[in-house]
Structure 1
Amino acid sequence: MALSNSQVTRLGDRLRSSSITNDDLALLDEFRQTFSEIDEKAYTITHKVLENTSDWTATKRKRKTQQSIVDKLCRLPQLRLPQMQDIAGCRIVLKSGTKQASELNNLLLAAFTQQDWQVEGKERDNDGYRAIHIIAKLGKQFYEIQLRTYAQDIWANLVETMSDEKNTLKYGGNEQEQTIMNKLKQLSESFVTIDSEAHNHSIEQYQQRIEAAIRHVLSD
């Protein structure tokens, strides 16, 4: 039986409580599985675009875990579970900078629009994190494509590596973590310039500039 919008909304409200039941988790998993079809359709469209595109390294499919969904609902009390846009999606990492990312963003927007999806590309810039997020919607379900430059992906992976299992580095943290995060934000600013000039350099030169920025900022 298909889950109704009101059922999913009430489930999201219960997941914010401190007493989540096994039945709630089972229902959440059932809800997650309803994204299988939109996942296949969106990933197919994405790869058809990438077949004719150079300068990308890899794609990674992702389905938001139960714990990640619960954590996000708790962080964002106004968010309704049916409106969560990143339960299903993929990540594309480029070998290059922002010029190529913008061009690929336009190609993806056009490809989804031609297949009658509602789609929007948003540049994310939040506490050092930078990427293009493409939100595609088919019916009532969302699919998110994270489009990162090589430098942006290195930055995001650094944060993940340095975070604990509760991600306190990304969401506040103690005084020591705040000091680290300030350095990472400074590194992100350095990457903006490097990314904007990446199309004027070889991939080797681009990578060398990234490595030099990391050494300069994190060794201070």
Structure 2
Amino acid sequence: MGIDFNEWKNLLLLHKLALDDLETKINITAEEGKLLGEENPIEHIKRRIKTPESIIDKLQRKGLLVTVGSAEANLRDIAGIRITCSFVSDIYKLYEHIQKRADIEIVETKDYIKNPKPNGYQSLHVIVKVNLHLYTSIQPVYVEVQLRTLAMDFWASLEHKIYYKYDRQVPEYLTQELKEAAESITALDEKMKNIRDEVEVIRTTTDQIMLPL
């Protein structure tokens, strides 16, 4: 199918602006946390916008009308932002802060950390609505937000490469090894959290000892 990019450029531009707006708000949220004495929970932020080809492919797979209007009405992951955190607790802390923002509306949440997918995939998926203030109107735009730890992100990246290398037909033994690796990642995240907590206890105790009498 030939694609007239001009037909889709406004849709893609709106989602690019929504990503700009959302990333700014998330960074502001993290900076506000610093004022409250919190550590910055964000390690990395990555963003992406689906290509017209990818959008059309998804509409066709869903049996939906292939138009810009159909994409706007039915797809909420045209734009996506992935936030990588050091610890699982940082994920939920950041999510809680986002919930409190009046300028970001959370539409849907899927917690694959507390309830991993059968293949072991873990991440917190959140669909948010951002209201873009344009010259002539206020345009609501949906963005998919994924929050995960560094270890979860490494696993997901590897799984994605394997998934497409085998054209979605991953051998059973690799599927099992990936699931076992996901379980190891859960244990690693928990161990790193415990180490951080122990360091915090030592730091607090040291600070108390150093206080003048």
Distance 1:121 1:189, change over 3 A: same
Residues 1:66 and 1:129: Cα distance change in structure 2 (over 3 Å): farther
Distance 1:50 1:31, change over 3 A: same
2:120 aligns to what?
128
Task: Give the Cα–Cα distance (whole angstroms) in 1 for the partners of residues 54 and 191 of structure 2.
Answer: 35
Whole-Å separation in 1 of the counterparts to 2:187 and 2:160 = 23
Q: Which SS does the other structure have where 1:34 is aligned? A: helix
Q: Distance in 2 between matches of 1:186 and 1:72?
A: 31
- Take 2:14 and 2:57, find their aligned partners in 1: how far apart are those partners? 20
Residue 19 of structure 2 aligns with which residue?
39
Aligned residues: 174
The percent identity for this pair of structures is 26
Match of 1:152 in 2: 152
1:54: which partner in 2? 40
Instruction: Give 1:69's aligned residue.
Output: 55
Equivalent residue in structure 2 for 1:86, among 66, 77, 83: 77
Structure with greater Cα Rg: 2
2:162 and 2:186 mapped to 1: Cα distance?
A: 21
Q: Which residue of 2 aligns with 1:200?
A: 194
Instruction: Look up the SS of the partner of 2:164 in the other structure.
Output: coil
DSSP 3-state at the match of 1:54? coil
CA distance in 1: counterparts of 2:44 and 2:78, whole angstroms: 20
Asked if 1 retains the 8 angstrom alpha-carbon contact of 2:108 and 2:126, the reply is: yes
Task: Say if 1:67 and 1:159 are closer, same or farther in 2 by CA, change over 3 A.
Answer: farther
Matched residue SS, 1:130:
coil
Q: Which runs of 5+ in 1 are unaligned?
A: 1-19, 204-220
Maintained 8 Å contact 2:14/2:141:
no
Cα separation, 2, equivalents of 1:75 and 1:198: 41
Q: Please, what is the CA RMSD of the aligned residues?
A: 2.8
Task: Name the CA distance, whole Å, in 1 between partners of 2:173 and 2:56.
Answer: 28
Asked if structure 1 preserves the Cα contact closer than 8 Å seen for 2:109 and 2:126, the reply is: yes
- CA shift for structure 1 position 116: 5.5
User: 1:109 Cα deviation (Å)?
Assistant: 1.8
Tell me how far apart the structure 1 counterparts of residues 40 and 162 of structure 2 sit (CA, whole Å): 31
| Cα 1:140–1:155 shift into 2, 3 Å | same
Output the CA distance in 1 between the equivalents of 2:141 and 2:16.
Answer: 11
- The corresponding residue for 1:142 is 142
Alpha-carbon distance between aligned partners in 2 of 1:108 and 1:56, rounded to the nearest angstrom: 13
CA contact (8 A) 2:123 2:147 kept: yes
